[in-house]
Structure 1
Amino acid sequence: MKVRLKKNSFSGRNLKLALTSIIGNFLNLQTFFILIAFAVAVSWIPDGLGSLLNMWFGSENLPYLQIGIGLFILAVLFFVGSYFLKKNYPKIEIYSEEAPKKENLIIFLSPSNEVSNVRSFEDFKKVKTPWQMPAVAVKHHLPKLKNLYVILSNKSKNNFEDFKEFLNRLFPNSDINIYPIGYDKDITFENMEDLKDIIEEVYETIRKKDKRKERETIIDITGGQKLVSIVGAVQTLIEGRTFQYVSTTDYSVKSFDLRYHGEHND
């Protein structure tokens, strides 16, 4: 059986796009004469330079002179191009400091059932629970903290009410609005699309309340799995967003501002 290969039209489409970018979506008589004039001008310039050099230095030395000048121009273009590429190469800078207190805090909730006896931070010495870090994060932003957005996975959404009671026991005098995020969804903390979408949903909710409050928002990436930390940090590449991390050694809370500098950065 013979197999007939069909010609790939990808290269043809690329050629069409290239021509369209040069001559526009259509070729009329005016465009045709412009192209001819451009081609003539481009061809006359090297011919004219060659004739001028021939007049000055003679035909015997002209080939050597052309090769020398050509190599010199290529060398200059190479070094100048390398300089600007290096200078304008996209880069990410990280700014770190003790996390300033914010009005809005976003956290990720992991499942836990070992919190019934936790009524103070001293109890964490006896009870090991993944909810200790969210508690430290919340404590850091008091008394300024007003809104706590708790992103729930399909494994932790049934723990939300327990988590609210847990925070009320630790901070009985605080007045925090606690919002469950993803309670009506099936979110997995191992799915980057789920994480990205739910984080954007929280920021959109905050923007609808007050656009200025986005800068009064910080996302904590301590809880959850490693993928949660990665996506949470990447989402803060958007200008004005920051994330925080609670140290597992001294429980200090640091904020990080990732700033992406693209090719147009000075």
Structure 2
Amino acid sequence: MRVRLIKNSFSGRNLKLALTSVIGNFLNLQTFFILTAFAIAVSWIPDGLGLLFNIWFGNEKLPYIQIVGGFILLVALFIVGNYFLKKNYPKIEIYSEEAPKKENLIIFLSPVNNKPEISSFEDFKKVKTPWQMPAVAVKHHLPKLKNLFVILSNKSKNNFEDFKEFLNSLFPDSNINIYPVGYDKDIDFENMEDLKDIIEEVYETIKKKGKKKERETIIDITGGQKLVSIVGAVQTLIEGRAFQYVSTTDYSVKSFDLRYYEEQND
């Protein structure tokens, strides 16, 4: 089984690959001569075939042969191409397990009107708050968790300091670095582009510290709105990424790794 990396921008990436495959990364004198030779070769082949058919069949039959032969060739190409597309069409597979403890956790912060007065997990039985699931997500990764990246919306950025105090009261003995993400931006949790860009920004920040650090990262999609969960999950289609979800029934934390793959027979 071969796992295939899926990029975010299909059309842009495919166009770049197509141009690069034809002209290379830079259009220089050497590339120009290669392109010229390629164009001449491509034009000579059909011209040569046309002259050859003309010798064999004569001018009267040649147009009919070209039309019928071209139609048969197109049909054959369509059948063969369709067969290979269906055979090699990428399939999706979901790997699910109890979320392994990670060093880096990314969460989305929902806004609240007032900081919940909670000092232990027992208090959650009496007080319901949108910050309960993020707290469970954090607890799951202790004591390994080192860095918590909190993505803030334009409605929750003012809640960050309260959320930080909220976590410190729950985990007084932990030594987590809590980073706000989006203080200087106007992130709308209902805007897919905003969400995609800010998630990539966090991953780029972590990636600069090394590939191992990126693999030691998981994104929690429990908090926030439904669109947050969708975009968060889609962004983990990139190889090496995974997301987690906190169950609202038994509070278990499961990780999910979505992969596109192609089955190949050896």
Q: TM-score range by the shorter chain?
A: 0.7 to 0.9
Contact 1:114–1:128 under 8 Å retained in 2 = no
Count the aligned residue pairs. Answer: 229
1:43 to 2:50 alignment: yes
1:207-257: per-residue Cα shift (whole Å, max 9, x none)?
223332000000001100111111111111111111111111111111111
What SS does the aligned partner of 1:209 have? coil
Q: State the shift of 1:74 in Å.
A: 8.2
When Rg is computed on C-alpha atoms for both structures, the one with the higher figure is 1
Separation (CA, whole Å) in 2 of partners of 1:88 and 1:260: 11
Mapped to 1, the partners of 2:186 and 2:198 lie a distance apart of 11
Distance between the aligned counterparts of 1:152 and 1:230, measured in 2? 17
Work out the CA distance in 1 between the residues paired with 2:262 and 2:196: 22
Please identify, of 76-85 and 199-208, the stretch whose mean Cα deviation from structure 2 is larger. Answer: 76-85
Instruction: Structure 2: state its 5+ residue gaps.
Output: 1-18, 24-30, 59-68
Paired AA for residue 234 in structure 2: V
Partners of 1:29 and 1:156 lie apart in 2 by: 58
CA deviations over 1:165-220 (Å, ceiling 9, x no partner): 11111111111111111112211111111111111111111122333200000000
- 2:148 is paired with a residue of what secondary structure? strand
Task: Output the CA distance in 1 between the equivalents of 2:37 and 2:84.
Answer: 37
1:16-37 residue CA offsets vs partner (Å, 9 max, x unmatched): x9xx99xx989x9988975664
Q: Distance in 1 between matches of 2:230 and 2:36?
A: 56
Alpha-carbon RMSD: 3.6
Residues 65-214 of structure 1: pairs in structure 2 closer than 5 A: 80-214=80-214
Q: Distance in 2 between matches of 1:32 and 1:125?
A: 74
Question: 2:220 corresponds to which letter in structure 1?
Answer: D
Q: In 1, Cα distance between the equivalents of 2:40 and 2:195?
A: 55
Q: CA shift at 1:41, angstroms?
A: 3.7
Contact 1:108 1:150 (8 Å CA) reproduced: yes
SS at match of 1:42: helix
Q: Structure 1: 5+ residue runs without aligned partners?
A: 1-16, 52-68
Tell me the CA shift for residue 90 of structure 1. Answer: 2.9
Contact 2:116 2:129 in 1 (8 A): no
- Cα deviation, 1:83-132, whole Å, max 9, x if unaligned, reads 31111113322211111100000000001245442111111111110000
- The amino acid of 2:49's aligned partner reads V
Hey, what's the Cα distance between the residues in 1 that align with 2:36 and 2:165? 78
- One-letter amino acid matched to 1:183: Y
Q: Sequence identity, in percent?
A: 75
User: When the two structures are superposed, what TM-score results if normalisation uses the length of structure 1?
Assistant: 0.73
Provide the secondary structure at the position in 1 that maps to 2:208: helix
Q: Is the contact between residue 110 and residue 131 of structure 2 (CA under 8 Å) also seen in structure 1? A: yes
1:191 to 1:49, Cα distance in 2 relative to 1, 3 A:
same
TM-score of the aligned structures, taking structure 2 as reference length: 0.73
| Partner Cα distance (1:138, 1:169) in 2 | 13
Contact 1:105 1:219 in 2 (8 A): yes
